[in-house]
Amino acid sequence: MSITIPDPTWIQAGTKAAQRAGTILANASHQMRNTQRIEEQGRETKIMADEILHREITEALTPTGLPIFSEEGNTSSPHPAQWSWVIDPLDGSANFQRGFSLCASSIALCHGMQPVTGFLYDLHTQSIVQGGAGITPAAELKCSTINTLDRAILCTGIPARLEWSDENTQRFSNMFRSFYKIRMLGSAVQALLHVATGKADVYFEQNIMFWDVAAAWAVAEAAGIQIRSCPGTRSGSLQVMAAPPALLSHCHPLLFPETYQNAHANK
């Protein structure tokens, strides 16, 4: 579905916000890595950089007049018919705190729950990555041509909100045995970026939050990746799968067995 952005200055604002985030991350002091609080029963760390980036990105986006939903601020869901910004100031905070460069600032322009344009600052490459409506796709945004799971690399993760049930443990076991290689990068944004640039082939994560994936979702779709999602088992969370068209039909019954079975039962 093609969506036209009604105000081109929104693109400028998103780019400016990503540039501001990049300047902060590239020149981060050691103090920015200090722990501020621990959440999700000790499995989610918030550091000073999260709060600083939230403040700076929000300041850059506020002149657009659009609502801003952020992991560090308003965490409710966007209205279905409303334009808004959905941001994760620092995706991969634990990586950043320990000196891993696989993290990013994530800024999405959304219409309802549909990511339309994504603006990312990728600390690993120290570059801004953009994709979606109103953006000319970069040459490096191109999905892989792998068409079988036994040659495909899966990027996944274990979110702090994952429930360690026997069912989920079995699902992970089935996933890991079905793919050629498994990669866990510690950042949903980085995982989707690796799929969007063809370095990996499939992304899947359970109980991930919309702000974690919204901007990279738009960028991945601009690269030709197809994305499917359904509600997660935790309030407000999602299960998200992203794959090239050639792999989508192979991934659906493996990664979304419930929805796949229900769809075929209703035929």
Task: Give me the pLDDT at residue 183, please.
Answer: 97
Non-local CB neighbours of 91 within 8 Å, separated by 6+ positions: 103, 104, 105, 106, 187, 188, 189, 190, 212
Q: Give residue 48's pLDDT.
A: 87
Q: How many helices (H) and strands (E) does the chain have?
A: 8, 12
Q: What is the C-alpha to C-alpha distance for residues 109 and 252, in angstroms, rounded to an integer?
A: 27
CB 193 within 8 Å of CB 127:
no
DSSP H or E segment with residue 19? helix 9-26
Q: Which residues of the chain have pLDDT under 70?
A: 1, 35-44, 74-75, 161-162, 258-267
Closest to 69 measured CA to CA, from 215, 229, 232, 187 = 215
Q: Order the strands of the 237-243 sheet from edge to edge.
A: 181-184, 153-156, 202-209, 237-243, 226-231
User: How many angstroms from the chain centroid is the CA of residue 26?
Assistant: 21
CA angle 227, 106, 66 (to 5 degrees): 95
Closest C-alpha among 257, 245, 262, 226 to residue 1: 226
pLDDT recorded at residue 173: 87
**Per-residue CA distances from 200 to 105, 129, 143, 144 (Å):** 20, 17, 8, 7
What DSSP element (H or E) covers 103?
A: none
For residue 37, what are the β-bridge partners?
A: 46
C-alpha 101 chain-centroid distance: 16
Q: Which two tokens stand for residue 18?
A: 């990503």
Which structural domains are found in the chain, ordered by start?
9-132 (3.30.540.10), 149-265 (3.40.190.80)
For the CA atoms of 181, 259, 164, 215, the dihedral, rounded to the nearest 10 degrees, stands at 70
Q: Which two tokens stand for residue 44?
A: 């989610």
pLDDT at 35: 67
Which tens digits make up the pLDDT trace of 90-143? 999 889 988 999 999 999 999 999 999 999 999 999 999 999 999 987 888 999
- Rounded Cα distance between 70 and 12, Å, is 19
Q: Which two tokens stand for residue 146?
A: 């792998």
pTM of the model: 0.89
Structure tokens at 112: 């309802």
Strands, E assignment, the chain: 35-39, 44-47, 68-70, 83-91, 104-111, 114-122, 127-132, 153-156, 181-184, 202-209, 226-231, 237-243
